[in-house]
Amino acid sequence: DLHFSVFPWAEQKVVFITARVHPGETPSSFVCQGIIDFLVSHHPIAKVLRDHLVFKIAPMLNPDGVYLGNYRCSLMGFDLNRHWANPSPWAHPTLHGVKELIIDMYNNPKINLEFYIDIHAHSTMMNGFMYGNIFEDEERFQRQAVFPKLLCQNAEDFSYSSTSFNRDAVKAGTGRRFLGGLLNDTSSCYTLEVSFYSYLLGGAAAAVPYTEEAYMKLGRNVARTFLDYYRLNSLVEGPLAPTPKTR
């Protein structure tokens, strides 16, 4: 829980990140670790992000499934990412707790929950990419495309062409779908997927195998993209500060 805002009197802009709801999708933990390590670092961009945003991170939604070595389900045999609509405090305790926290924040007029990102790993597709939601409101639908487009500019292994927006009924119980329907029109909800095995760079013929470091680098780039999204670049101090324009 990274809560370092220097503007306590202002409305808090919250980014909520979850990972490892499917215990076998280990790359999601490395991506999440990259996000956390960057945000708590002394990097000038990380300092600006901490000053202007509140990050809530649940790095492992299925700890019992991870402990048991399950691929997709929890100790009780549930695919937790199909139970967001009505999680049981007994059968799905982590999901229930996170959902209650999100709803409490949503009902707090001093908090604006602007992003929800759930990190997964994909067994057949390459690169990193996102799933988003479809809305009748064209402006909200178009606004969803902004963050993945910016991420594509920052991360060479992220593919905007593989990013898609849908309302597949099979995905109705997922965090991305459920919270996309619950939160207001200022919020964006995504599933961030990353390949289990490799990524293709633009124009390259051969795939590049993912490593733990490459997964964590994607996480760092996810965090850095919030600087671009909120147009905070001018606040970065030090060698990364923008060069002043000369006449």
CATH code at position 214: 3.40.630.10
Within-domain flag for 40: yes
The mean per-residue pLDDT over the stretch 63-90 comes to 95
Within-domain flag for 246: no
| Structure token pair of residue 211 | 């490593």
CA distances from 231 to 28, 35, 226 (A): 27, 19, 8
- Quick: pLDDT tens for 149-198: 999 999 999 999 999 987 777 677 888 988 988 888 889 999 999 999 99
Domain range for 130 is: 12-235
Within-domain flag for 87: yes
Within-domain flag for 244: no
| Structure token pair of residue 129 | 């990419």
pLDDT value at residue 135? 78
Within-domain flag for 3: no
Within-domain flag for 31: yes
Of residues 166 and 76, more confidently modeled: 76
CA distances from 139 to 10, 136, 218 (A): 26, 9, 28
What is the set of active-site residues? 193
Closest CA to 229 of 184, 179, 190: 190
Structure confidence at residue 247 as a pLDDT band (50, 70, 90): very low
Of residues 178 and 125, more confidently modeled: 125
Please state, in angstroms and rounded to a whole number, the distance separating the CA atoms of residues 165 and 188: 12
Phi, psi angle pair for 62, to nearest 5°:
-130, 60
- Our count of domains for the chain comes to 1
The mean per-residue pLDDT over the stretch 35-39 comes to 98
Structure confidence at residue 245 as a pLDDT band (50, 70, 90): very low
**Alpha-carbon torsion, ordered 76, 78, 83, 89, to 10 deg:** 10
pLDDT value at residue 241? 62
Within-domain flag for 4: no
| Structure token pair of residue 134 | 């479809």
Within-domain flag for 123: yes
DSSP state of 158: B
- Strand, coil or helix: 68: helix
Q: Is-contact 225 151, C-beta < 8 A?
A: yes
The mean per-residue pLDDT over the stretch 97-126 comes to 95
